[in-house]
Amino acid sequence: MPATRKRGRHAQGLLFVLPYLPFLLLFGILPMLYALYLAVTSDTGALVGIDNFTRTIRDYRFVPAFEHILIYTSVWLVSLVVLVVGLALLLHGRAGRVTSGFRFLFYIPGALAGASAVLVWLFMLDPSVSPGSSLLRLSGANLFVESIAPGRLPFVFAMIAFWTGAGGWIVVMYGALNTIPPDLEEAARIDGAGPITIALRLKLPLIRKWVAYMVILSFATGTQLFIEPQLVNEASLGLVPDTWSSNQLAYQLAFRYGDFNGAAAVSVDLIVIGLIAALIIVRRTGLFRTEE
């Protein structure tokens, strides 16, 4: 490709990302840099190196919070990948009218804003008012307290997150599947491939990068879990600790103790974990590899 054309395409690309850039800078990059600055300084502004990090890691709530987040993120990511990809593949094999109906159905819960979705679930999880109370009772929960027992929480939060977030991803995956040229599918069918073989051996490898993209972003949002445990904490009058997730711990450090530097250190821990996970996934799946 001639150099001038290449440069022209770069300029065009820049034009597309331009409207997003100021927001990315203001609400993404700058706060991150500020957090980095806070994390390596004391409340008087003096440089303290990794002091804030070692101090927060030794906090008695640090390890449990990260444990919770680890379990929650694993449960959520596995269910997201398996169910979202599975449902998208199923949808893609159906006739147009059925598909659009189901796409809409899947997407509806995602239209609720995060906090209100949690409020809906607070009712769903209370056996005395829930429409699914028989299911809750079957699972051994006769009281709200039992629905949100410590061992169940990662699964409860994963369920809430899946309910609100999966629909959007199913639509995205469906869009990805639509980019597969019909000839390919046709050729596979002529070669004797059944619908399952086509789905698993042809479609799935072709949308691999989309799945990787979903995993990276979902990993980052998963580790940043905040509003769900925070609202459940308040609604249950403290039955769920207010430092259940690492983001909540950062919040408590900042506002309960006025320790903004410690809070920044916990936030930086989360950025680092997210970046490492993203790097691994990008390298393993070749997400940004382009064929020239």
Site for another protein contains 149 (CB under 8 A): yes
**Among 73, 223, 233, 246, contact with another protein (rule: CB under 8 A):** 233
**Among 240, 268, 270, 273, contact with another protein (rule: CB under 8 A):** 240
Please say which residue, 198 or 262, places its beta carbon nearer to another protein: 262
**Among 6, 10, 201, 256, contact with another protein (rule: CB under 8 A):** 256
Sign of the CA dihedral 230, 234, 236, 240?
positive
Site for another protein contains 271 (CB under 8 A): no
Judged by CB under 8 A, the stretch of 45-53, 84-92, 228-236, 277-285 that binds another protein is 228-236
d(CA 54, CA 213): 32
Here's the x/- map for another protein, 167-206, by CB under 8 A: it reads as: -xx--x----------------------------------
H runs (alpha helix) in 108-258 = 114-124, 133-138, 144-147, 153-178, 182-190, 195-197, 204-206, 208-223, 227-235, 246-256
Task: Identify the bridge partners of residue 41 per DSSP, sorted by sequence position.
Answer: 47
d(CA 267, CA 209): 28
Q: Which of 245, 270, 277, 282 has its CA nearest to residue 161?
A: 245
Site for another protein contains 266 (CB under 8 A): no
**Among 3, 181, 237, 291, contact with another protein (rule: CB under 8 A):** 237
The nearest distance, CB 45 to another protein, in angstroms, is 14
Which DSSP state fits 108?
A: G
d(CA 125, CA 122): 5
Binding positions for another protein, 65-94, rule CB under 8 A: none
The nearest distance, CB 200 to another protein, in angstroms, is 24
Site for another protein contains 242 (CB under 8 A): yes
The nearest distance, CB 191 to another protein, in angstroms, is 33
**Among 29, 139, 255, 280, contact with another protein (rule: CB under 8 A):** 255
Q: What is the Cα gyration radius of the chain?
A: 23
Binding positions for another protein, 112-141, rule CB under 8 A: 113-115, 126, 128-129
Q: Could you tell me how far CA 187 lies from the centroid of its own chain? A: 36
Site for another protein contains 23 (CB under 8 A): yes
d(CA 120, CA 102): 22
Task: Identify the bridge partners of residue 18 per DSSP, sorted by sequence position.
Answer: none
Site for another protein contains 37 (CB under 8 A): no
**Among 47, 60, 108, 181, contact with another protein (rule: CB under 8 A):** 60
d(CA 91, CA 97): 11
Buried b (16+ CB within 10 A) or exposed e, 7-21: eeeeeeeeeeeeeee
Residues that bind another protein (CB under 8 A): 19-20, 23, 27, 59-61, 110, 113-115, 126, 128-129, 143-146, 149-150, 161, 164-165, 168-169, 172, 213-214, 217-218, 220-221, 224, 227, 233-234, 236-242, 251-252, 254-258
